Homo-oligomer: A and B are copies of this chain.
C-alpha cells in the first residue's frame, strides 16, 4: 500500500530541520531502521555528503540510520532495496535532471507503489505530482522532461505564498502564475502553505498541519481546503 508524506517545507520559520514533522515521521517510518536519502536537489548548492549528514542528524533522534543514494554504486538497486525513502528539497530542476539521468525516477515510483514509505519536502514533494510545471524554483539546469512521479493525480505547489498586499514589486503573485499554468494544463494544483503536508495511505489523501491549503482548478475560482480534509476525490 502506498504510504507518503508530502510536505510543503522541511523547516518552519524559527524552527530546526524537520522538527515540526518528527512525531509524524516516527509514526510514518515505524518499523524502519534505515532510510535512503536522495540529496540530488542540493539546496544552496551544498554537496550530497553535507546534505545527507544534515538528514542523518535528525533521523538519529528517532533511531533511523540514513545513507545517501550517492553512496551506492547502483542507485536504482539501492532504491529497490530501501526500507524507506526521503527526497529532500532544493532545486527541482536539478533533482529531476538527476532522477532521470540515474534511472531513479522510475525506481522510486515502483518502490512507492509496492509500499516503501516515502517522505518528500519541497522539491521532493513537487515530484510527487503529475509534473514539475508548478515548482517555484529557478531553472538552473535543463531536465529531459517536466514529467514527474504522479503519485498523486494533481500538481503540488510547495511553499505556497499568499499575495503580499503591501508589495511594490511588479513580479507576478503565486496565484497569477498558477492561473497562467491553467491556460495550458488541465490538472488541479494544490498550494501547500509552509507547515502543511499531505498524508497518503493507499488511495486516501488527507491534508495535515495547522493551516488550510489553496486549491486551484482550471476555469474555477480558487478555494480553501480545511486541514484534516480527505481530498481523495481530487483529480
Using a CB–CB cutoff of 8 Å, the interface residues on chain A facing chain B are 9, 11-14, 42-45, 90-91, 93-94, 132-142, 145-146, 159, 161, 168-172, 176-185, 194
Contact = CB atoms under 8 A, between A and B. Distances in A.
A196 B37 CA distance: 43
Nearest to A144: B142
A139 B145 contact: no
Chain copies in the assembled complex: 2
Nearest to A157: B138
Nearest to A15: B170
A159 B137 CA distance: 15
A182 to B, nearest CB: 8
A138 B134 contact: yes
A169 B13 contact: yes
B179 A45 contact: yes
Contact of A13 (B136, B170, B172): B170
Nearest to A183: B45
A106 B141 CA distance: 22
A141 B133 contact: yes
10 contacts: A9-B170, A45-B180, A93-B139, A133-B138, A133-B141, A133-B142, A137-B172, A138-B177, A140-B177, A140-B185
B145 A159 contact: no
A67 B140 CA distance: 34
Nearest to A193: B169
A135 B134 CA distance: 14
B44 A138 contact: no
Contacts of A169: 13, 159, 161, 194
A183 B40 CA distance: 13
